[in-house]
Each structure stands twice: as C-alpha cells, then as structure tokens.
Amino acid sequence: MQIIRYPSAAEWPALQQRPAQAESQEVAERVRHIFDDVRQRGDAALRQYAAELDGATLHELRVSPAELAAAAALVPAELQAAIGQARQNIERFHAAQRGNELRLETAPGVECWRRAVPVQRVGLYIPGGSAPLFSTLLMLGVPAQLAGCPTIVLCTPPAKDGSVNPVILYTAALLGIDTIIKAGGAQAIAALTGGTASVPAVDKIFGPGNRYVTAAKQLAAQRGVAIDMPAGPSEVLVMADESAQPAFVAADLLSQAEHGPDSQVVLLTTSARMLEQVTAEVEQQLQELPRRDVAAQALRESRAVLLRTPEEMLRFSNQYAPEHLILAVDNAEELAAGVTNAGSVFLGHLTPEAAGDYASGTNHTLPTNGYARSYSGVSLDSFVKKITFQRISAAGLQQLGPVVETLAEAEGLRAHARAVTIRLETLSV
C-alpha cells in the first residue's frame, strides 16, 4: 500500500483517484461490435462467444430443468443452510422497505396517490469464473421476487464443460428463478437488451461485472434499457483510530482487495502506530490468501493515509464517496451521523464488511467509483416503478380549474387551458 502522512487538503483529490481503467475506447468499440453481432445473429453469436471466451461448446443456451434439479445434490448441506439463513435476513430487510399506498386530498375534491408497480421484465447478471457470485444472486433475486417482477431472466457464464456453477443453480431454484441463460460478458448484456430466440429482452438489467460488462450496461442504457447503476471495481475505505484492532482492519482491507486486481482499498487513521501496525498486518495476512496475487495487484493502487483528526477523516471519506465505509473507531455512531456519501456503512469493531456482502440483510450491490455521491445501492425500490394517480370531482375542478387556466395561459399553452375551460363550461350548464 502507498503510505501518505498528513497530506494537505489540496493533495486529497489526487489521493482519491481510482485506478485508471485502461483501453476504455477499445473496450467501448468491442462492446458495440458485440451488441451489433448479437442483434444480427442472436443465439448463434452467443454460442460462438461461449466457445471463444468461455471454452464451452453449447447446444442449448438455457439451463434445462434436469440441470436445475440436479444442482442441489452438489451443494453441501452446511452451505445450503447458510444460503437459507442469508436469504431469510435479506428478505426480512427488503420486505420492510414496502411502502403503503398513501392517498391524499391535496385540495377539496382533488385526490392524488402513488402506487408501486413491479418492473415487468428484469435481467440479473451474475459473474462466474474464479469467484462465482451466488451471493449476488441472493441480493438481486430476493428483492426482484418481493417486488413481484413477472419475468426474471438470469444470465451467467458457463464453465468449459458447458455447466453452470451448481451453487448458482441451487440458489436460483431456491428463489424460483428458472429462466437461466448460459451467457457471460458483454454478449449476455447485449442479449438481455435486444432479446434472442432463447433470451427474453428485459426492461432493466442488474448485476456487477468487469469493464466489458460495465461498458455493455452503459450501452444498454443508451438503447432504452434501464440499469441498476454505474458500477466498477469493488472498493472499501476504513477509518481507524487508536481503539481499532490492526488485525481486524487488515482483514477488512484484504477482503476487498481479493475481489480483483483493479479493486481499491483505502485506510484513513489518526494514529501513526495504527498505520504501521495495519500495513504490517496486511503484508502478513496477504501471504496466507489463496488469491494473494490478485490482492497484491489491488494493493499497489491502494493507500494508507495518516490524518490529524476524525473530522479530517470524515471530510476525506465524504469526498471519496466509498462503496463500503467501515468506521473502526470508538465513537462510530457519532461519526456515522456525518456520513453523506457512501454506499453502505459498517459501524464498530465487530461489524466486518463481509457480513454485508453475504448475510446481514442489507444489499451488497452498491455504487462504486464515486457514484455514491448521487446513487443509492440496490433496494426493493430498484425493482418497482412508482406511478402516480389522481381523480378530480366536479367540485374539485371548479376550485382548481381557474388556477390551472391562469398558469397555462401564462405559459402560452392555450390548449392546456382549454382542456380545463371546456369541462368547466359543461359543469356550469
């Protein structure tokens, strides 16, 4: 990790830069080509990309009922129980986000209300590869089911033998998701955007991925399909004071660094001793990780920053707007009150970010790359649309109508005014 001691506020923006994403123009051009190819050749293009990129020969893109049914036997009972408990916690937290339909009379005879309606067709993208994220399927599938989305399509890349990770299949079956497509990368996003013979087109796409998937989601948004949020490599910022446990902090930093070589971790501390102890712990714990090479690459673009006060740490963090924020400090509740920009916040010494990644109940699909300044993480609201309704009685229109006429005339919109006037004339007969 890069160690920086007492930087001035003028130096902060440079320290808050995320790792540069190389070849962005090349990636965008490649993704556009894939979208055009999938639109023209459909399933044939998806099978070709599966062969070229995943090394899999696919005769059928959809997971069969037999494959789905067989998955449970391949998942250990202990893991099944853990997935069940995580699902229960996630469901409990997201079910509590349901709002009651509130009807309000804004003026006598003028009734307005808003109703939550599920997005009709959603696509869930779940990465495979070296770290198949079945936990992300829980985070997306549970609120999609709670919202009542009628069509849920899951895309995930196949292994070389054409199979899908059995834990992903088991989790999908647990959630009642049976439209599962063996497709990964930008080609999966392209298929969800325009549809193919095997892949239903969707209205909104959710899920993380590499820079090709991120670019594909952005292109999907340009072509009329909503996305959950702009998302890039995972990141965490930890604030630690003298009360923190260096081993805990190091483990939290490494838990994000092992996501990928382009992940970023940031340590802020007011203690020179903590800075030294945590960085030493990071080096020691790194050697014990199966994914130490990946984590080591991430650490090269990560920073440990010594600041003077908790207030400085808070200002730095709010400017950085981390995806995950851990407050490993004595006064976590007090400091948390000042947080304005973060995806999800973890308070105290016994609240690891990993708990939120898996099973505490909050959602781990969160804004990265500074988007926490303007975006929320995925919630039940992400899977619904809010439609407003209104009804006006005769008495209500007689009272409100003249106001609307005056406002419309002032804007030069005579037809708007006339739509009210013609009704008022009818009522006066």
Within this chain, do residues 312 and 349 fall inside the same structural domain, yes or no?
A: yes
5 within a domain of the structure (yes/no): no
Within this chain, do residues 313 and 210 fall inside the same structural domain, yes or no?
A: no
Within this chain, do residues 223 and 236 fall inside the same structural domain, yes or no?
A: no
70 within a domain of the structure (yes/no): yes
pLDDT at residue 21, as a whole number: 61
Among residues 235, 281, 324, 364, the one annotated as catalytic is 324
pLDDT at residue 329, as a whole number: 97
Q: Residue 201: CA atoms inside 13 Å, Cβ hemisphere, count?
A: 13
Could you say which residues of the chain have pLDDT below 70?
A: 21-23, 129-131
pLDDT at residue 112, as a whole number: 97
Q: Residue 188: CA atoms inside 13 Å, Cβ hemisphere, count?
A: 32
Within this chain, do residues 222 and 317 fall inside the same structural domain, yes or no?
A: no
pLDDT at residue 230, as a whole number: 81
Residue 259 annotated as part of some ligand binding site: yes
Within this chain, do residues 370 and 397 fall inside the same structural domain, yes or no?
A: no
Within this chain, do residues 314 and 247 fall inside the same structural domain, yes or no?
A: yes
Residue 11 annotated as part of some ligand binding site: no
| CATH code of the domain containing 308 | 3.40.50.1980
Residue 170 annotated as part of some ligand binding site: no
Among residues 258, 281, 301, 323, the one annotated as catalytic is 323
pLDDT at residue 160, as a whole number: 95
Within this chain, do residues 333 and 420 fall inside the same structural domain, yes or no?
A: no
pTM of the model: 0.93
Within this chain, do residues 209 and 257 fall inside the same structural domain, yes or no?
A: no
Cα distance between residue 174 and residue 170, in whole Å: 6
Residue 411 annotated as part of some ligand binding site: yes
384 within a domain of the structure (yes/no): no
Residue 210 annotated as part of some ligand binding site: yes
Within this chain, do residues 59 and 31 fall inside the same structural domain, yes or no?
A: yes
Residue 24 annotated as part of some ligand binding site: no
Nearest to 141 by CA among 383, 399, 426, 360: 383
**pLDDT tens per residue across span 136-159:** 999 999 999 999 999 999 999 999
pLDDT at residue 324, as a whole number: 98
Within this chain, do residues 265 and 288 fall inside the same structural domain, yes or no?
A: yes
353 catalytic, yes or no?
Answer: no
pLDDT at residue 357, as a whole number: 95
The number of domains in the chain is: 3
Cα distance between residue 120 and residue 148, in whole Å: 8
Residue 349 annotated as part of some ligand binding site: no
Within this chain, do residues 156 and 48 fall inside the same structural domain, yes or no?
A: yes
**Contact status, residue 203 vs residue 177, Cβ threshold 8 Å:** no
Domain that holds residue 401: 393-428
Residue 234 annotated as part of some ligand binding site: yes
State how beta strands 303-306 and 204-206 pair. unpaired
12 within a domain of the structure (yes/no): no
323 catalytic, yes or no?
Answer: yes
Please provide residue 189's backbone torsions phi and psi, each rounded to the nearest 5 degrees. -65, -40
